[in-house]
């Protein structure tokens, strides 16, 4: 289903979720790396909400969420689990703040696009073409539908070009958007 076609182009699966998917849904706290080990925790992604997910997800797959994706904990190992499973991107109506930063830091594209959410169904075959700012969706007759991605803010573009905020900082010695020497430190 998600393994790609006979041609050179690879198709991925869209996994559709509802509103308010929280970080305990993405990775329950009791399966934190601290509890079960750095090497296996990702196998518990969506263990309660969608137990078949971790077994069936394939690298490059797209998660489609509703409002407030990723609310709750600051646990970076929740998106880290998705990264280890190879999740290609997440499209949602909106993202919770801390989780959004974590996705950005791990280099998982987090795309706020309600119109894409409306257009996608669970099990759709899709291909994300970030450089061309579009998402391809395979139609039932085997054709392709091109869905435009919303424009990426400059700040995010700067980060994604380097891969992550960490990579950006390592390369430039400053944060994205920090266009001046380090500010004086009032805390002294």
Partner 1 sequence: MSAPARAPGAPAAGRWPSTLPEAPGVELAGLTLAERILSVKAGRRVRAGEVAVVPVDQVMMVDSIAPSALSIVEDELGGVIQHPERVSVVIDHVAPASNVQVATTQKRLRAVARDKGLRLFDVGRGICHQVLMEEGLARPGWVVVGSDSHSTTYGAVTAFGTGMGATDIALAMVAGRTWLKVPETVRVRLSGERRSGVAAKDVALEIVRRLTADGATYASIEILGAGGFGPGERMTLANLAVEAGAKVGLVAPDDALRERYEVAPWLVVDEDADVSREVEIDLGEVGPVVSVPFQVDNVHPVGEHLGVHVDQVFVGTCTNGRLEDLHDVVRVLAGRPVADGTRLLVIPASSRVLQDALADGTVAALVAAGASVGVPGCGPCMGRHMGVLAPGEVCVSTSNRNFMGRMGSPDAEIYLASPAVAAASAAAGVLAMPEEAVGA
User: Which is closer to partner 1, CB of 83 or CB of 138?
Assistant: 83
**Would you list the DSSP string of 122-188?**
TT-EEEEETTTTEEEEE-TTS-EEEEEPPPPPHHHHHHHHHSSHHHHHHHHSS-TT--SSPPP-TT-
Q: Measured between alpha carbons, how far is 169 from 188 in angstroms, rounded to an integer?
A: 23
The least distance separating partner 1 from the CB of residue 60, rounded to whole angstroms, comes to 23
Nearest distance, CB of residue 35 and partner 1, angstroms: 6
Tell me the C-alpha distance between 111 and 179, whole Å.
25
Q: Closer to partner 1 by CB, 123 or 170: give it.
A: 170
Where do contacts with partner 1 occur on this chain (CB under 8 A)?
A: 20, 22, 24-25, 28-30, 32-37, 48-49, 67-68, 71-77, 79, 94-98, 101-102, 105-106, 155, 164-166, 169-170, 174-178, 182-188
Q: How far is the CB of 55 from partner 1 (least distance, A)?
A: 18
Which CB, 36 or 130, lies closer to partner 1?
36
């Amino acid at each position: 289903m998600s393994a790609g076609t006979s041609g050179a182009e690879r198709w991925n699966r869209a996994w559709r979720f509802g509103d308010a998917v929280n970080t305990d849904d993405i990775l329950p706290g009791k399966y934190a790396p601290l509890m079960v080990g750095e090497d296996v925790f990702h196998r518990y992604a969506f263990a309660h909400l969608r137990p078949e997910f971790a077994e069936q997800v394939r690298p490059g797959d797209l998660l489609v969420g509703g409002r407030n994706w990723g609310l709750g904990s600051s646990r970076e190992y929740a998106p880290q689990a998705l990264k280890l499973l190879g999740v290609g991107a997440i499209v949602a109506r909106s993202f919770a703040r801390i989780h959004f930063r974590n996705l950005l830091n791990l280099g998982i594209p987090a795309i706020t696009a309600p119109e894409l959410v409306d257009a996608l169904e669970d099990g759709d075959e899709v291909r994300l073409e970030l450089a061309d700012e579009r998402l391809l969706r395979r139609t039932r007759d085997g054709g392709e539908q091109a869905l435009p991605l919303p424009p990426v803010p400059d700040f995010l573009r700067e980060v994604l070009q380097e891969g992550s905020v960490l990579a950006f900082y390592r390369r430039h010695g400053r944060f994205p958007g920090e266009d001046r020497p380090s500010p004086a430190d009032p805390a002294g």
